[in-house]
Copies of this chain bind each other. A is one copy, B any other.
Amino acid sequence: MFDYDLLEALASVVRTGSFDRAAKQLHVTPSAISQRVKLLEERVGTVLVVRGQPCEATEAGLRLCQHLEQVALMEGNVRDALPGSADGMGHAVPVRIAINADSLDTWFVNAIAELPDVLFDVVVDDQDHSDEWLRRGEVAGAVTSRSQSIQGCDSKLIGNLRYQATASPVFIEKFFPDGQVTLDALKQAPCMIFDRKDQLQYRWMKQVFGQDFSPPSHWLPSTNAFVKGALAGIGWGMNPELLVADHIASGRLAPLVPGTPFDVPLYWQANRVAGASIAKVSEAVLKAGRAALRATTE
């Protein structure tokens, strides 16, 4: 068996970014933490933490932290089956989740609020890429656009996140003065793109115009800045209906081409190994997600 005192010291350094804070978290001295990490590095025969501001795990260090998190999740199952509160059995480890930015900024906090006893460690990635975190074993669950179950995981449909290609009336008047959004006019109108992974603007163009192309673009990696950017008239972009419905109703924003919503089905995939302790997380995610997203006819 591994020495889990050593692994916990490592994981705490990586999580808090500092030997001092890890020491405070585990109620030992910083030199005890340092000795434990060093001992673990000697046993494994490789460097596990890059000492810096903050301290970061090496690839091998990350692998050991992942293992610890999985063991902690499995401990959760045992903990629930034990009589009493099992308070003397050590403290809880956060559940690591990968999720798209637009879900995190709209409905996901409601899932966290459902579970006051669970800590969440959220990483953000595009819905077309969040499944990779699960595949690599770095998270226990993911909100993803991939319906097909990843090996060892269960996949459940949450619902459709509906997008509207939106811009301000002033922007629309400037670039489409006759109200017609033609392909040629759209090629001149600045567009907002979240980051290199964001394909939504291209996909909407393809759905509406039968082809995609690269208009002049701002790159703005923030859900909130996308909405603000549309309101300020810097460009058009695919905004979640959840965030712009009020703005559309009040006339501060308008759909670029009325009647062309774009739906992204989102799935919850969770690691089966984590079992019962992820089950209540799954339940909360599905409840909060289904309350906010649109039902699909799938």
Contacts and interface: CB of A to CB of B under 8 A. Distances in A.
B119 A221 contact: no
Contact of A214 (B24, B54, B229): B24
Contacts of A152: none
Interface of A is mostly: mixed
B54 A94 contact: no
B219 A25 contact: no
A272 interface: no
Nearest to A118: B218
Nearest to A26: B214
Quickly give the copy total for this chain. 2
A218 B119 contact: yes
A28 interface: no
Given A24-B213, A197-B54, A229-B109, A218 B120 contact: yes
Contact of A120 (B12, B53, B120, B220): B220
B214 A116 contact: no
A111 to B, nearest CB: 10
Interface residues of A, number: 54
B225 A109 contact: yes
A123 interface: yes
A222 B101 contact: yes
Given A110-B232, A121-B219, 11 more contacts: A25-B213, A101-B222, A109-B232, A113-B234, A119-B218, A120-B218, A122-B220, A124-B221, A124-B222, A222-B223, A223-B224
Interface of A: 12, 14-17, 21-22, 24-25, 53-54, 56, 91-92, 94, 101, 104-105, 108-110, 112-113, 116, 119-124, 128, 190, 196-197, 199, 202, 212-214, 216-225, 228-229, 232-234
